[in-house]
């Protein structure tokens, strides 16, 4: 029976779980939206492994949410995952963050729609998003997009479209089509990673530890630091 550690830090949510067989048997999550990954992730990993009753040497793989998402959050999660894989000599599995968020919506049973659009906040009116059908097949690839009133019009004309994730709230006043449905209670987490992780583990779809990098989608742009006394 395989033991796989799951890590999700691509957004403001910090989530860690452990799969044993085909079930998550230990879980820790922080949904405070405070970007506390750097202070929580290590302790979450230790607590999850301890609660599951396994040793680190008994882990068979580590799965991580690869992005798109927060540059800093992705760096923290991927660095921790790669460090564990190097130290334990086990494979790394990477799952698209938007696809796992869509899986969370579909598997919740509370979202009834023809198309599922997970959204992760980027800058201003821009969001990272993709479009999936009910079977979680990608019908439009992942993009970074500035949302206007015509966004997703081709899908909205075909049926109900569910929007969710931390990028969705700022789009509510822009997308006013009657087929647009907004859900505030769908958040990223390792539960959305589980089925994709198991499939990749069985098929041995592992990442190259030496070269794997998060899926940033856009280059990181650092803001200019403010110097006290200068304007």
| Section 129-153 average pLDDT | 95
pLDDT at 61: 98
Which numeric CATH code is attached to 98-183? Answer: 3.30.420.40
Distance separating alpha carbons of residues 66 and 93, to the nearest angstrom: 9
| Section 109-125 average pLDDT | 92
| Section 71-99 average pLDDT | 97
Domain ranges of the chain: 3-97+188-203, 98-183
Could you tell me the pLDDT band of residue 224, with boundaries at 50, 70 and 90?
very low
Domain 3-97+188-203 and domain 98-183 have a common topology: yes
Enter the pTM of the model: 0.90
Half-sphere exposure of 110 (CA within 13 A, CB side): 10
Q: Are strands 115-121 and 161-164 parallel, antiparallel or unpaired?
A: parallel
pLDDT at 33: 63
Phi, psi of 60 (to 5 degrees): -100, -20
| Section 1-10 average pLDDT | 95
pLDDT of 223 above 60:
no
Question: What is the pLDDT of the chain when averaged over all its residues?
Answer: 92
Half-sphere exposure of 218 (CA within 13 A, CB side): 19
Is it true that domain 3-97+188-203 has CATH number 3.30.420.40?
yes
| Section 122-145 average pLDDT | 93
- Residue 22 has what DSSP assignment? T
């Amino acid at each position: 029976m395989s033991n796989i550690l799951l890590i999700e830090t691509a957004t403001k949510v910090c989530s860690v779980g452990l799969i044993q067989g085909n079930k998550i048997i230990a879980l820790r999550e922080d949904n405070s939206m405070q970007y506390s990954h750097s202070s929580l992730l290590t302790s979450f990993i230790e607590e999850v492994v301890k609660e599951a009753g396994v040793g680190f040497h008994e882990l068979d793989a580590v799965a991580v949410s690869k992005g798109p998402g927060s540059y800093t959050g992705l760096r923290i999660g991927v660095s921790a995952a790669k460090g564990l894989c190097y130290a334990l000599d086990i494979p790394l599995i990477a799952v698209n963050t938007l696809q796992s968020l869509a899986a969370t919506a579909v598997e919740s049973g509370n979202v009834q729609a023809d198309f599922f659009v997970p959204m992760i906040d980027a800058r201003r009116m821009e969001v990272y998003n993709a479009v999936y059908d009910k079977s979680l097949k990608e019908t439009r690839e992942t993009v970074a997009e500035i949302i206007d009133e015509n966004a997703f019009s081709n899908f909205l004309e075909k049926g109900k479209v569910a929007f969710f994730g931390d990028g969705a709230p700022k789009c509510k006043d822009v997308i006013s089509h009657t087929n647009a449905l907004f859900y505030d209670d769908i958040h990223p987490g390792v539960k959305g990673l589980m089925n994709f992780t198991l499939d990749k583990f069985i098929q041995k779809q592992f990442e190259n530890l030496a070269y794997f990098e998060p899926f940033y989608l856009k280059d990181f742009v650092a803001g200019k630091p403010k110097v006290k006394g200068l304007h």
